[in-house]
């Protein structure tokens, strides 16, 4: 079964760092882009960026450039999203999703989401 | 930056046809896709490449894209189709529409 499994919920304080993960299985992890999507409470989907684990080519949404870092470790089929200094406004659900080139632009498989709560 | 605009809400009676629009400049020149998201769940791809259905998506879901508007159509809408729907396209970056809450009443 093709799936993306994300790390568990996190509760952090402002200023702390955080790295969440997304592990792919059931397919060739290095052959598909992995994107990250933010969903703030009660709000819509926002694209953050995307990485190609095969060569770590990474692209960021202008809205998130410099705010987060996307990386991948192909040896363990895992993509990451990290913050160096969290803010309360980073409180949101974060999804990873696989981009299938065969769908010409769509994300066909989604992780279950990681809820990040930032509160003092 | 490129923007996609969706109506915040659409209502439909059970068994009727629901249409959800997504507007963007020359959207018809790009490929549009649609996601369904139910409360507390991850998004699910229901239409890609304007009009194709992934495996497992019911035939009542269909899509079109022309000019400045992509449309998701749900024929014979069922109560289980009540959800938020998001359109998405690629410009220089990935772009999502703001989402439409479909109410089946």
For residue B91, pLDDT beyond 90: no
CB contacts, 8 Å: B52 with chain A: 103
CB contacts, 8 Å: B35 with chain A: 45, 107
Taking the CA atoms of A106, B29, B94 and A93 in sequence, report the sign of the dihedral they define.
Answer: negative
Which structure tokens are listed for B52?
């194709």
- Run means of pLDDT, 10 residues per run, chain A, 120 residues: 97 98 97 97 97 95 96 97 98 96 88 98
3-state secondary structure A43-64: CCEEEEEEEECCCCEEEECCCC
For Cα atoms A80, B33, A95, give the angle at the middle one, nearest 5 degrees.
20
Query: DSSP letters of A62-104?
Result: TTTTTT-EEEEEGGGTEEEEEESS--GGG-EEEEEEEE-GGGT
Best A106, A113, A115 member to test B by mutation, with max B CBs in 10 Å, is: A106
Confidence band (pLDDT; 50, 70, 90) for B69? very high
Q: Which of B1, B31, B49 sits opposite A62 (nearest CB)?
A: B1
Return the percentage of chain B with pLDDT > 90, whole number: 95
| Interface touch A59/B31, C-beta < 8 Å | no
- Computed over every residue of chain B, the mean pLDDT equals 96
> Would an 8 Å CB–CB cutoff place B33 in contact with chain A?
yes
CB contacts, 8 Å: B94 with chain A: 35, 47, 50, 61, 105
CB contacts, 8 Å: B99 with chain A: 44-45
The closest alpha carbon to B20, from B66, B76, B62, B67, belongs to B62
Alpha carbons A65 and B76: distance in angstroms, whole number:
43
> Would an 8 Å CB–CB cutoff place B97 in contact with chain A?
yes
CB pairs under 8 A between A and B: 67
List pLDDT tens digits, range B13-22. Answer: 999 999 999 9
Q: Which of B33, B35, B94 sits opposite A35 (nearest CB)?
A: B94
Give the model's pLDDT for residue A105.
Answer: 83
């Amino acid at each position: 079964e093709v799936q993306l499994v994300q790390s568990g919920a996190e509760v952090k304080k402002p200023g702390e760092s955080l790295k969440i993960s997304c592990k792919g299985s059931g397919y060739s992890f290095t052959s598909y882009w992995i994107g990250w999507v933010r969903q703030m409470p009660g709000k819509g989907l926002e694209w953050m960026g995307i990485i190609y684990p095969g060569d770590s080519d990474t692209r960021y949404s202008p809205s998130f450039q410099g705010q987060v870092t996307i990386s991948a470790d192909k040896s363990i089929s895992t993509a990451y999203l990290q913050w160096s200094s969290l803010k309360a406004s980073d409180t949101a659900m974060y999804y990873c999703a696989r981009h299938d080139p065969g769908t010409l632009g769509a994300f066909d498989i989604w992780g279950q989401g990681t809820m990040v709560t930032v509160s003092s | 930056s490129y923007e996609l605009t969706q109506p915040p809400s659409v209502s439909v009676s059970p068994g009727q046809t629901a249409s959800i629009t997504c507007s963007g400049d020359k959207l018809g020149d790009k490929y549009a896709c649609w996601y369904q998201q139910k409360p507390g769940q991850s998004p699910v791809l229901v239409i890609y490449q304007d009009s194709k259905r992934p495996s497992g998506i019911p035939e009542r879901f269909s899509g079109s894209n022309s000019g400045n508007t992509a449309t998701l159509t749900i024929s014979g809408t069922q109560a289980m189709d009540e959800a938020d729907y998001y359109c998405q396209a690629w410009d220089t970056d990935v772009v999502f529409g703001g989402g439409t809450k479909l109410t089946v009443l």
